[in-house]
Amino acid sequence: MRRPSGLGLYTVLLFLFLFAPIAVVVLFSFNKTAGLTFPFHGWSLRWYRAVFSSSTYRDAIVASLRVAVVTVVVVVVVGTLAGIGLTRHAFRGSGVVRALLLFPAALPGLFVGIALLSFFVQTKVTLSLWTVTVGHLVYVLPYFFLVVASRLQRFDYLLEEAARDLGAGPWTTFRRVTLPLIAPSLIAGALVVFSLSWDEVFITFFTIGAQNTLPLVIYSTVKQSVDPSVNAISTLLLAGSLVFIFSVRRLVVDLQQ
Amino acid sequence: MTEARRSYLHIDAATKVFAGAAAVRDFTLDIADGEFVSLLGPSGCGKTTLLRMIAGFEFPDSGRILLEGRDITAVPAHKRPVNMVFQRVTLFPHLNVFENIAFGLQLKRVSKEEVKRRVGDALDLVRLPGFGERAVGTLSGGQAQRVALARAIVNRPKVLLFDEPLSALDLQIRRELQVELKDIHRELESTFVYVTHDQEEAMTMSDRIVVMRGGLILQVGDPIEVYRSPASLFVASFVGNPNVWPGTVAAVENGSVSVAVGERSFAAPTPPAPVRVGDPVALVLRAEALTLSPGSSASPGLCAAHGTVADVRFAGTVVSYRVDLGDRQLTVSRPPQSEILHEGEPVTVTWSPRDSILLPPEDERTP
């Protein structure tokens, strides 16, 4: 079958458009000089050294990690419980609870950010990394819930009955049968949540206190001056995201088996 | 009856209602130690609900369940010394064959060496020696149910429960496993309660069959009893595939009954419940109890009906004939070695009156 002419060219151009900016950022993160445009003057790791020696970046990385890790831990516990509760028991209004749980994902981040800010101001809560974490929780819980609930919906509850029949109480059944079987989806969901929290900007922007997270630091750096270390830190972010994406992909493959 | 064989598992007036409809109604049954009892009935007859109440997955709304004299009615599944083989494969996919079978023993903190030994023994018993390291995903359907059986018997339960464990398997593997299950029962001498809707399966394996319908017991008896002396027309038609002729009692005289079926009249054995002249009855003639011969002949002492062959089906183990008697039809089966008769051939169907069964017609009140 002959392909229409020009389709190949179109595809190449499209991918060029998509990936060229990324390639430029990665390339110039290794640039010897401070220039952000061609010509490229030669390889060096000076911008990476600049990133790691800068206390602003280090603090921002630590702050982002703290927010992301706390978010992941809380969401995994709450989301798993919600998933089990809502997939296993059809109670009065469980459909409403489910819809409410998923609702924040449909809201614009800007809106959630402003709503949280006015909430924190009215309740006189001091803005800090904790308020950022609360914002992230609201935003990522639906995503985690969707991942876990879809796995639980396919879960064969007869396996739990078999475990009970063999002498396992409710907790032992959960620990020895349910948890190992849903673990890949919990990990996949946790990775998604981590990467969502790691580069979240809108909600963070409105709920942040004195300490900045990494995306906000990068944003303000770019706004203020032309600093090639931004290329280095962005490349690091990209590398991190790629690791997450491939981990999730592998887990999804595991899930399908 | 010895002391040990007296009422081992006792179900006392158990009733279970789901959404207003009774699944099991006032069910009382005694099962002896070492007995193989089948609960036989169509789907929805309550047999699985009863099994699940013995397992502890359901609890009766009223009535009691006693095991070795101990009331276990309210004991949850994980604390009951009974184990179940389910209809679907319920092996834990994240564990291998050995770990699946060892699951129950590990929960009971049995020592490592003993677990190893007992799992090995169980695998030998189900004819899967050396399968311990296999992943459960690599097993065939029959192998998976053998592993499920090993996983249950390794715990040495007081009662083994089976919820149609072979119904999803191919006919040949099902037959094979029926024989093995019977052998295993003989070897273990433990108590089996087996739920099935397959009358042949119940017949070939059980010491006793409980025929159920609408949550009630219709008949309890050994396979021969249930086959030869069905308590009702439903039992008679559920076990085997007999010819049923509605008729009326024409005469009753010392130990023998005469039944009018249309224009004809046949001698029949006395039914369990007394009948009077004019009572409506059903004459049950099992296809395998009838004799088919070419031409028209009659022998004294036998019932006979003349007709022509309407249809011949060669099924391998039997040849099934449909005989047209003019106003009605009869299905007759013959061994495959017999001479094959052809469509349209005039034939005579004969049977001994004591091989026919006389039952009350299906009562509207029975569920």
In CATH, what number is assigned to the domain containing residue B83?
3.40.50.300
How far is B80 from B150, CA to CA, in rounded Å?
Answer: 18
pTM (2 d.p.)? 0.81
In a domain, B365, yes or no: no
Q: In this model, does residue B309 exceed pLDDT 50? A: yes
Confidence grade of residue B165 (pLDDT, cut at 50, 70, 90): very high
Q: In this model, does residue A256 exceed pLDDT 60? A: no
Q: In this model, does residue A35 exceed pLDDT 70? A: no
Q: Verify that B107 and B41 share a domain, yes or no.
A: yes
| Tally of structural domains, chain B | 2
Q: Can you point out the beta strands (E) in chain A? A: none
In a domain, B306, yes or no: yes
pLDDT at site B72: 92
Chain B positions contacting chain A at CB under 8 Å are 55-57, 76-79, 82-84, 86, 88, 90-94, 103-104, 107-108, 151-152, 155
The first and second tokens of residue B350, run together, are: 């004969």
Q: Verify that B106 and B69 share a domain, yes or no.
A: yes
Binning chain A into helix, strand and coil, the percentages to the nearest 5 are 75, 0, 20
In a domain, A32, yes or no: no
Asked if A217 and A56 count as a contact pair (C-beta separation under 8 A), the reply is: yes
The CATH number given to whatever domain includes residue B354 is: 2.40.50.100
Contacts of A167 in chain B (CB under 8 A): 78-79, 104, 107-108, 155
Residue of B57, B82, B93 lying closest to A161 (CB–CB):
B57
Contacts of A186 in chain B (CB under 8 A): none
Share of chain A above pLDDT 70, in %: 93
The CATH number given to whatever domain includes residue A199 is: 1.10.3720.10
Confidence grade of residue A257 (pLDDT, cut at 50, 70, 90): very low
In a domain, B102, yes or no: yes
Q: Verify that B215 and B276 share a domain, yes or no.
A: no
Is the reported ipTM for this assembly greater than 0.90?
Answer: no
Residue of B55, B93, B108 lying closest to A167 (CB–CB):
B108
Residue of A156, A168, A181 lying closest to B78 (CB–CB):
A168
Instruction: Choose one of B208, B237, B266: the last residue of a domain.
Output: B237
> Is the model more confident about B124 or about A208?
B124
The 10 Å Cβ neighbour count of residue B364 is 5
Residue of A161, A169, A181 lying closest to B94 (CB–CB):
A181
Q: Verify that B247 and B233 share a domain, yes or no.
A: no
**Is the CB of B84 less than 8 angstroms away from the CB of A165?**
yes
Domain encompassing residue B208: 3-237
Query: How open is the CA angle A215-A189-A158, to the nearest 5 degrees?
Result: 170
Rounded mean pLDDT, B240-255? 84
Instruction: Choose one of B187, B219, B237: the last residue of a domain.
Output: B237
| A88, amino acid identity | R
Q: Verify that B70 and B104 share a domain, yes or no.
A: yes
What are the pLDDT digits (tens) for A230-251? 888 888 888 877 887 787 777 7
pLDDT at site B363: 60
DSSP state at residue B331: E
> Is the model more confident about A247 or about B174?
B174
Contacts of B103 in chain A (CB under 8 A): 163, 166, 168, 176
DSSP string computed for A148-208 = HHHHHHT--THHHHHHHHTT--HHHHIIIIIHHHHHHHHHHHHHHHHHHHHT--HHHHHH-
Instruction: Choose one of B220, B237, B254: the last residue of a domain.
Output: B237
Contacts of B88 in chain A (CB under 8 A): 156, 158
How far is A28 from B65, CA to CA, in rounded Å?
Answer: 78
Instruction: Chain B: give the shortest CA distance to residue A168, in Å.
Output: 6
Q: Verify that B173 and B312 share a domain, yes or no.
A: no
What are the pLDDT digits (tens) for B24-39? 999 999 999 999 999 9
In a domain, A257, yes or no: no
Instruction: Chain A: give the shortest CA distance to residue B71, in Å.
Output: 18
Q: In this model, does residue B120 exceed pLDDT 50? A: yes
How far is A182 from B108, CA to CA, in rounded Å?
Answer: 25
User: Any chain B CB within 8 A of the CB of A159?
Assistant: yes
The first and second tokens of residue B309, run together, are: 């062959």
> Is the model more confident about B164 or about A222?
B164
How far is B172 from A23, CA to CA, in rounded Å?
Answer: 63
Closest by CA to B160, choosing from B85, B266, B272, is B85
Q: In this model, does residue B4 exceed pLDDT 70? A: no
Asked if B333 and B321 count as a contact pair (C-beta separation under 8 A), the reply is: yes
**Is the CB of A161 less than 8 angstroms away from the CB of B103?**
no
Place of tokens 């070897």: B187
**Is the CB of B107 less than 8 angstroms away from the CB of A168?**
yes
Asked if B65 and B10 count as a contact pair (C-beta separation under 8 A), the reply is: yes
How far is A33 from A46, CA to CA, in rounded Å?
Answer: 9
Contacts of A176 in chain B (CB under 8 A): 103
DSSP string computed for B192-260 = EEEEES-HHHHHHH-SEEEEEETTEEEEEE-HHHHHHS-SSHHHHHHSS--EEEEEEEEEEETTEEEEE
What are the pLDDT digits (tens) for B22-79? 789 999 999 999 999 999 998 888 999 999 999 999 999 999 999 998 999 999 999 9
Domain encompassing residue A82: 54-224
Testing the interface with B: which of A154, A156, A164, A165 to mutate, by most B Cβ within 10 A?
A: A165
In a domain, A112, yes or no: yes
Q: What are phi and psi of B92, to 5 degrees?
A: -75, 115
Three-class SS string for A196-222? HHHCCCHHHHHHCCCCCCHHHHHHHHH
| CB contact set of B186 (below 8 Å; sequence gap of 6+) | none
pLDDT at site B366: 46
Contacts of A173 in chain B (CB under 8 A): 78
Residue of A159, A167, A177 lying closest to B78 (CB–CB):
A167
Q: Is B349 helix (H, G, I), strand (E, B) or coil?
A: strand
User: Any chain B CB within 8 A of the CB of A108?
Assistant: no
Confidence grade of residue A3 (pLDDT, cut at 50, 70, 90): low
How far is B155 from B315, CA to CA, in rounded Å?
Answer: 42
In a domain, B367, yes or no: no
| Tally of structural domains, chain A | 1
Share of chain B above pLDDT 90, in %: 51
Give chain B's mean pLDDT: 88
